[in-house]
Structure 1
Amino acid sequence: MEMNVVGIAAIVMLVFLFLKVPVFTSVLSGSVVYFILSPNVPTKIIAQRVIAGIESIPLLAVPFFICAGVYMNYSGVTKRVMNFAEALTGHMAGGLGQVNVLLSTLMGGLSGSNLADAAMQAKMLVPEMERKGFSKEFSSVVTASSAMITPLIPPGIAMIIYGSIANVSIGKLFIAGIGPGILLCGSMMVLVSIISKKRGYKPVREKFIEPKEFWVALKEAALPLCLPVIIIGGIRLGIFTPTEAGAVAIVYSLMLGIIYKEMTFKDIISGLKETINSTASIMLIVGAASAFAWILTKERIPQEITELIINMISNKYVFLIIVNIFLIFVGMFIEGNASMIVLVPLLAPVAKAYGINEIQFAMIFIFNSAIGCITPPMGTLMFVTCGITKCKINRFIKEALPFYLLLFICLMLLTFVPVFSTGIVDLFY
């Protein structure tokens, strides 16, 4: 009877998700159905589980890093980091396309939000790329694809949520993200270069920037680029926790606003409003999904799935391939944070039973969630970017095919070569 009730609750949740009902409403509806149909479970527990889900201390880092990222955009940081990115890559084939990729990587350590990163670069870089002769479709695809790097570079919000759910060190996840982030950045720059040479997309300048101009660009971007170093260094040296690092990031971003004299009091208030809106949407999903995760735990679903999978599959790499296919499919329909909160409690114990490194599995999971952001039919990065650039979705998907292939190759490297995920962590710890 209990298992049937869980099945009905899961079906209700999935039906609502496919009908594009807001994620937190869909997940909460499934939980409510379970409590209504289970006579032996007091209904008041659902309220307790929702509240308990968002009372986690590590989740305090979420509003801090969101706020820091918003303030970074208001303080004039983006313009300075973009000039530095152009100084480094402007001489390469597809100059502004390379700037786009590198800027996403550098801003990943500052903004922490892939949607904010995509929206910002769609407004700033895509019109300029079109003026330089790049097609609208290519410019849009590069912008959306490179924004995928943001959740991998510390301090990504996805890492905080994953760490709090799976009880994995958030500090280690921050450091682990550097490897996949650099892998994706480097491979994407190579792909942009190949496509640009074929199509004749010209660099910004003929040769590498003069040393004097380079040092000026580096000097202007140096303070913002110190933030990821401060966060990782502070956590590793035990000066502050990942949660406290978020508060440090806010203070640092406000200091930059004062130093650059570009942030007004009005911007501070606007930033707080944006932070509240973004945090509320994430926490509603976290609270609803934690109630559903409690139901799964109570019914011993993770343990039964672990036993079933281990009895069916003996090889951990076969398991990882199946997980990759499953997560990519799920990511096509369900928002990344929601799928993470529901699926991590199910899949992380199975991965542990196979002896898979918890950091490597976290990176594989987060990378799969990021891929879902640019795949149809519900890729959030795809819709945000195309909404701003006015690019047709069907043209976007056609242009993105080489990038999908690249993402698959990177995913296979993360799956079969653990050093990309764990190498830097081993060095630090």
Structure 2
Amino acid sequence: MLVDWLPGILMLVLFALEVPIAFAIAIAALSFFLIDGSVPLNIFVQKMVTATDSYPLLAIPFFVLAGGIMNKAGITARLLVLADALVGHLTGALAQMCTVLATLLGGLTASSSADAAMLAKILGPEMVRANYSPAFAAVITSCAAIITALIPPSIGLIIYGYISDTSIGRLFVGGIVPGLLLAGALMTVTAVIAKKRGYLPRRREFAGAPALGRAFVDALWALSIPVFIVVGIRYGIFTPTEAGAITVLYTILVGRFAYRSLYFADLPRVMKETVLDTSSVMIMICAASAFGFYLAWERIPPQMANWLVSLTTNPILLLLLINALLIVLGTAIEGTSALIILTPIFVPILAKLGIDPVHFGIVLVTNLTIAGVTPPVGQMMFISSQVLRVPMEDYTIEVLPFLAAMCLVLVALTLFPQITLFLPDLVYGRGP
């Protein structure tokens, strides 16, 4: 019946009206309780509140706080020097440095939005001063931030692991190779465009082994953090949630005593920013929990499952169809909210067809994070464009070749599961 789908339709309408994502989901969920009448209204509040009663979700504020501390401690500057030593001699050096820096930062910030803001503020003006197109600068700073969604720790992978009951440790390890592939694709497109437009290198030659070695040693404490997280989770020293807390302590020690650039007086401001960033994510998760109750009550996931399976039972073809659907949805729905809503719908379908949840998790997070740079509602697009004052129409034209390259990587991840799974299988052993 059409009335069963009204809350979902209402949510899409509210998205189109640019109602804040969390409120749009919550209002749509509340409408179900008001329309149905057979479910007590207090269940809506209970579902909102119980969503916060989750031990794994504690990892989100911890990793966000750790990223804020690393930024305040000046780690970005050291990693920028390392990126310069690695690729400063290439055509389009500043743009190439942007991708390398995003790859190095991926294991530190845990937030694509945070990376987009940081890269746009640090490297965006430098590119414009070096006669790069402002639209190009906005595009590369936002696209490079996608890498953060895959290289551990990743908030998107934590949320997916929590909702789908998938090993977060395996997801973290599984995101490393896809993250590096995305970086390679972005650097390839950058090289082609930079050569055509004459975007110059910063120097004529490679910096040399001594300079690279000094930059590497200076950034070693920062680079050790992702390794510290993955090794600790792999060998059972701590859980992913505990890893977040320990990483906060580790980054404070590194910033204060190793680099001597963090002061304890800085921590209250960092913690305030963390509370604001975490609250926006948690409100969305709470609203999605109530919306998920509506989906389960009306048996919408099984209905959608039956419809998808009626199209094909071939696992790879089904994944490609889901990717096509997600790309369309991603142009209208913000990535994190889509992840929260769609994970409980798709995971049971694909589990029946034997698709590894780690493989699907990486494909899903990659797809929905690409939506973050896709007009009209891409969050990273808005951040970079706002910082560099770039009109959406200019951004849209400039982003097309980068979107094409990232979609090719997405198709490769879909068709060849071992790209994602071989490293988790190597580290953890073959999954069940």
* TM-score range for the pair, normalised by the shorter chain length: over 0.9
CA contact (8 A) 1:374 1:380 kept: yes
SS of structure 1 residue aligned to 2:219:
helix
The reply on whether 1:25 has 2:23 as its aligned counterpart is: yes
Encode CA deviations 1:56-87: one digit per residue, 9 max, x unaligned.
11101000000000111000100001101111
- The one of 147, 156, 174 aligned to 1:176: 174
Q: CA deviation at 1:4?
A: 4.6
Deviation at 1:92, TM superposition (A): 1.6
1:11 aligns with 2:4: no
Using the size of structure 1 for normalisation, the TM-score is: 0.97
Q: Is the 8 A contact 2:157 2:172 kept in 1?
A: yes
Q: TM-score, normalised by structure 2?
A: 0.96
Write the distance in 2 (CA, Å) between the matches of 1:13 and 1:397: 26
For the 8 Å contact 1:140–1:391, the answer to whether it is kept is: yes
Q: Which amino acid aligns with 1:143?
A: T
Matched residue of 2:39: which SS? coil
SS of 1:121's equivalent? helix
| CA offsets 1:178-237 (integer angstroms, 9 cap, x no match) | 011010011211221122122221111111113222221111100000000000000000
Q: Displacement of 1:124 after TM fit?
A: 0.9
Tell me how far apart the structure 1 counterparts of residues 182 and 32 of structure 2 sit (CA, whole Å): 41
Conservation of the 8 A alpha-carbon contact between 1:5 and 1:34? no
Q: Deviations over 1:19-49 (max 9, x none)?
A: 1111111111111111112232111111111
Query: 1:105 maps to which residue?
Result: 103
| Aligned equivalent of 1:263 | 262
C-alpha contact (below 8 Å) 1:27/1:289 kept by paired residues? yes
Of 118, 121, 124, the match for 2:119:
121
* Helix, strand or coil at the partner of 1:373: helix
Aligned residue in 2 for 1:224: 222
Give the aligned partner of residue 367 of structure 1.
Answer: 366
Instruction: For residues 396-415 of structure 1, give each alpha carbon's deviation from its aligned partner in whole angstroms, at most 9, with x where no partner exists.
Output: 11111110110111111011
Q: Distance in 2 between matches of 1:111 and 1:175?
A: 17
Cα-to-partner distance string for 1:99-145 (whole Å, 9 max, x where unaligned): 10000011011001111111111111122122233222222211111
Query: Contact (CA 8 Å) 2:185, 2:406: kept in 1 or not?
Result: no
The equivalent residue for 1:316 is 315
Other-structure match for 1:303: 302
- In 2, the alpha carbon distance for the partners of 1:130 and 1:301 equals 49
Single out whichever of 270-279 and 133-142 deviates more from structure 2: 133-142
Alignment of 1:67-146 (within 5 A): 67-146=65-144
Distance in 2 between the 1:110 and 1:51 partners?
Answer: 30
1:251-290 to structure 2, matched below 5 A, reads 251-259=249-257, 260-290=259-289
Which range moved further: 226-235 or 339-348? 339-348
Please list every run of 5 or more consecutive structure 1 residues that lacks an aligned counterpart in the other structure.
none
How far did 1:5 drift? 4.2
322-331 vs 304-313, greater mean Cα deviation:
304-313
Q: Structure 2: which 5+ residue stretches go unaligned?
A: none
CA distance in 1, matches of 2:393, 2:308: 38
CA distance in 1, matches of 2:22, 2:424: 34
CA distance in 1, matches of 2:378, 2:24: 18
Out of 288-297 and 219-228, give the one that drifted further.
288-297
Match of 1:410 in 2: 409
Q: Deviations over 1:315-351 (max 9, x none)?
A: 2222112211111111111111111111111111111
Matched, 1:201 2:196: no
| Alignment root-mean-square deviation, CA | 1.3
User: CA–CA distance in 1 between the matches of 2:164 and 2:179?
Assistant: 21
2:39, 2:74 → 1: CA distance? 53
**Bigger Cα displacement from structure 2, 28-37 vs 239-248:** 28-37
One-letter amino acid of the structure 2 residue matched with residue 417 of structure 1: F
Which position in structure 2 is the counterpart of 1:240? 238
2:183 to 176, 182, 185: 185
Q: Distance in 2 between matches of 1:300 and 1:343?
A: 14
Give the residue type in structure 1 aligned to 2:321.
Answer: I
* Identity of matched residues, %: 40
Check whether the contact 1:158–1:366 (CA below 8 A) recurs between aligned residues.
Answer: yes
State how many pairs are aligned: 427
User: Which amino acid is 1:226 matched to?
Assistant: S
